[in-house]
Amino acid sequence: MGDLDNLRLQCLSCRKCEPGTTRTNLVFGVGNPNARVMFIGEAPGEQEDLRGEPFVGRSGKLMDSMIAEVGLYRDKNIYIANMIKCRPPNNRDPLPSEQEACINWLRAQFKIIKPKIIVCVGRIAAARIMKPDIKITKEHGVFMEKKGVLMMATLHPAALLRNINQKPLAEEDFRILKQKIMEVCPETYNI
Ligand code: URA
């Protein structure tokens, strides 16, 4: 069994917060454990909770189609996870204490996967992982380096569904992402 499978098993029995006791399924993550590029969202919604997989609802489908345009696929060359592994009841925002309780699972995923590039999907993930005061409307598509890892935020696909005029902005983020991948981990396109 791989390290990531092992970690998933440990995570399955975590009951450190309320969502851990009310969820339907753990939403640990999906994708290639050898991926160089990791996408991080906020927390599972209803569909994710039912399926046990991140980004499988309407917004996830939109994200899949946009990243496919730049040659990225969850079942091939990337890994996708959330900061929070269990759906908060009634889709409420995760409490700060729940974020704290859960973030170590994500840190452990980073340690095993060792991504070269992290894409934060939406402001909440970008604020927690990149910088607390990030202004996503201005700073999406801009790379920064933290502890040797390149990080970029992109607009959340749920926001694009609410305002489809913004879709070209996210498409541009993913073109910038592709260029960065070609520079630092072109092997992504041979996995
Ligand atoms: N939004 C997220 O941030 N993550 C998911 O898994 C689904 C929707």
In this structure, which residue's CA is closest to atom 7 in ligand 1?
55
Domain extent at residue 52: 3-182
Query: What is the pLDDT averaged over residues 89-94?
Result: 90
The tens digit of pLDDT for each residue in 124-133 reads 999 999 999 9
Give CA–CA dist 23/49, Å, rounded: 7
The verdict on the CB of residue 60 being under 6 Å from ligand 1 is yes
What separation in Å is there between the alpha carbon of 60 and the centre of ligand 1?
7
Q: In this structure, how many other beta carbons lie within 10 angstroms of the beta carbon of residue 68?
A: 12
188 inside domain: no
- The 10s digit of each residue's pLDDT in 17-67 is 999 999 999 999 999 999 999 999 999 999 999 999 999 999 999 999 999
CB atoms inside a 10 Å sphere around CB 96: 8
The token pair at 25 is 């399924």
Residue written as tokens 């380096």? 145
Distance from the alpha carbon of residue 180 to the mean position of ligand 1, in angstroms? 24
**Under a CB-based contact definition with an 8 Å cutoff, are residues 33 and 114 in contact?**
no
Q: Is residue 190 in a domain?
A: no
CA distance 117 to 81: 14
Q: Is residue 189 part of a domain?
A: no
Answer yes or no: is 140 within a domain. Answer: yes
Q: Give the model confidence (pLDDT) of 99-122 as tens digits.
A: 999 999 999 999 999 999 999 999
What's the pLDDT score for residue 1?
80
Q: Which of 48, 56, 74 to mutate to test the pocket of ligand 1 (most atoms within 8 A of CB)?
A: 48
Q: What is the pLDDT at residue 131? A: 96
Tokens of 62: 């939109």
Domains held by the chain: number: 1
- To test the ligand 1 pocket, which listed residue (23, 53, 82) has its Cβ within 8 A of the most ligand atoms? 82
Separation of CA 59 and ligand 1 centre (Å): 8
Q: Point out the ligand 1 atom lying closest to the alpha carbon of residue 80.
A: 6
Q: Is 191 inside a domain boundary? A: no
Does 91 have pLDDT greater than 90? Answer: no
* pLDDT: which is higher, 83 or 191: 83
Question: What average pLDDT does the segment 159-176 reach?
Answer: 98
Cα of 46 vs centre of ligand 1, distance in Å, is 9
For the question of whether the overall pTM of this predicted structure is more than 0.95, the answer is yes
Q: What is the CATH number of the domain that holds 118?
A: 3.40.470.10
